[in-house]
Amino acid sequence: MRLGNSGLSLFPLACLLSATCAAQSAPHLTISQNAKHEVVAHVSGLIPSCTLTANSAEPTFSIQGMVITVTQGVAGYMCTNPPPADKLYQRTINFGRLADGTYTINWTFPALKGTIAVTGNPARVSP
């Protein structure tokens, strides 16, 4: 499995529409492939430290047809005044080897969505 570049980054729509997104390090989704031809997703960025935020558990995923849903557990924390700084969220999940097709990836929290195409033998991932 090969990539044309080192990886594929998918940003939330809000990031594409906001000039402040890059300065705030909003979460973004990166898709890559490892040496075993497995598709790997990585999310990195700042999320709130209080109110509704990700818990410490690792995310889980399910694949139904061409939709991959990644579920991150969440927890509610009271905010102080002033609220604490945002915290860094980084999670990586291995989807394994995927059959040819166009997949939609839905990451529940932070809310991210992307589409990838897997084609060929060895497979290749593209936007």
pLDDT digits (tens, 9 = 90+) for 13-61: 333 333 334 445 899 999 998 888 899 999 999 999 999 999 999 999 9
Q: Is residue 52 part of a domain?
A: yes
In Å, the largest CA–CA distance within the chain is 55
Please tell me the predicted confidence (pLDDT) of residue 123. 65
How large is the average pLDDT for residues 98-105? 94
Please tell me the predicted confidence (pLDDT) of residue 75. 93
Domain range for residue 49?
Answer: 2-121
Q: φ, ψ for residue 17 (rounded to 5)?
A: -100, -5
Q: Is residue 93 part of a domain?
A: yes
Tell me how many domains the chain contains.
1
Q: How far is Cα 13 from Cα 114, in angstroms, rounded to an integer?
A: 10
How large is the average pLDDT for residues 84-94? 96
Q: Is residue 126 part of a domain?
A: no
